[in-house]
Amino acid sequence: MTGLLALALLVVAYVFGAYSFALDLWPIHVLRNAKRSAIGQTELATRFDSFGRLTGWGGKTEIACPVQDDRTAVVLFIGQSNQANNAGQRAESQFGESVAAWFDGKCTVAASPLLGTTGAMGEPLTPFANKLVAQGVFDRVVLVPSAIGGTKIERWTKGGDLNAMMMRALDELQKNYRITHVVWHQGEDDFRQETSPDSYGRMFNEMVETLRRRNVGAPILVSVATRCDDDSKWSSDNPIARAQRVLVDESRGIFAGVDTDELLMELCRKLGDGMKKAA
């Protein structure tokens, strides 16, 4: 029995280590740079923090943060991996400095992967901003990526560690910007772990309350997002999806976002998982 336990622990440690190493999660980056320093090599530009957020990436073009006016959108993205750097195709601004990404008080020309969120692959935020400018909806877009892959809503609600992280980011951001839109895309982990619809709704409303108390009066777009992996228990009319749909309340500034359960096919998920494993 002791031998089986030791073998199981060894397998878990190997899998976790391989995953952390492939994605350069903290503290792998620290260990890598310690090794490089010891042998006289320069440090790697890629850096992640304890939340798994990308905080450094070589080749970023730092710019003066755009001045906000009525034609400038400042969009906060919070939730899980579909709003993080987990997409297969990387993108970049098609409008130069008019599509910018904000993180930690600084701005760069938007280009995948974005700082401030998890992963190191592509993302949908930059293409979204390109379309807003191309269609004349806004002249400039400032992206504020803050999604953390693989997270339950309880971490984002009042008292959660990601709620605190978000509030710190808002305090810095609001020194220069007024948020015009918030996009919430989260729910896959809560579906998998069978969070009750009532609990999900309560925690979402607590999160909204913390945003409003931080003077974020912007409309909040709620996505329907519960589908991840090939889960035989999943159906489009599942409890978390229903909970997300009833959160919409335009009188409170909460609007329906995209339904990615409908838009993302099963094949998309399988391809995404395969790419993460191969990273």
Give the tens place of pLDDT for each residue, 108-152: 999 999 999 999 999 999 999 999 999 999 999 999 999 999 999
Side chain identity at residue 48, one-letter code? F
pLDDT at 15 over 60: no
In this prediction, residues 163-180 reach a mean pLDDT of 98
The answer to the question of residue 232 being in a domain is: yes
The answer to the question of residue 88 being in a domain is: yes
> pLDDT (tens digit, 9 = 90+) per residue, 181-204?
999 999 999 999 999 999 999 999
The answer to the question of residue 13 being in a domain is: yes
Q: Do residue 22 and residue 101 come from a single domain?
A: no
CA dihedral of 20, 24, 30, 34, whole degrees rounded to 10? 100
Beta strands in the chain (DSSP E): 47-48, 54-56, 62-63, 72-79, 99-103, 106-109, 140-145, 181-185, 220-224, 254-259
Q: Do residue 143 and residue 203 come from a single domain?
A: yes
Q: Residue with structure tokens 């990404």? A: 101
R_g over Cα of the chain: 19
pLDDT at 275 over 70: no
Q: Do residue 172 and residue 96 come from a single domain?
A: yes
Q: Which of 72, 69, 65 is nearest to 139 (CA)?
A: 72
Structural domain total, the chain: 2
Query: Whole domain around residue 176: which residue ranges?
Result: 58-278
The upper half-sphere exposure of residue 79, i.e. CA atoms within 13 Å in the direction of its Cβ, equals 26
- Rounded Cα gap, residues 162 and 56, in angstroms: 20
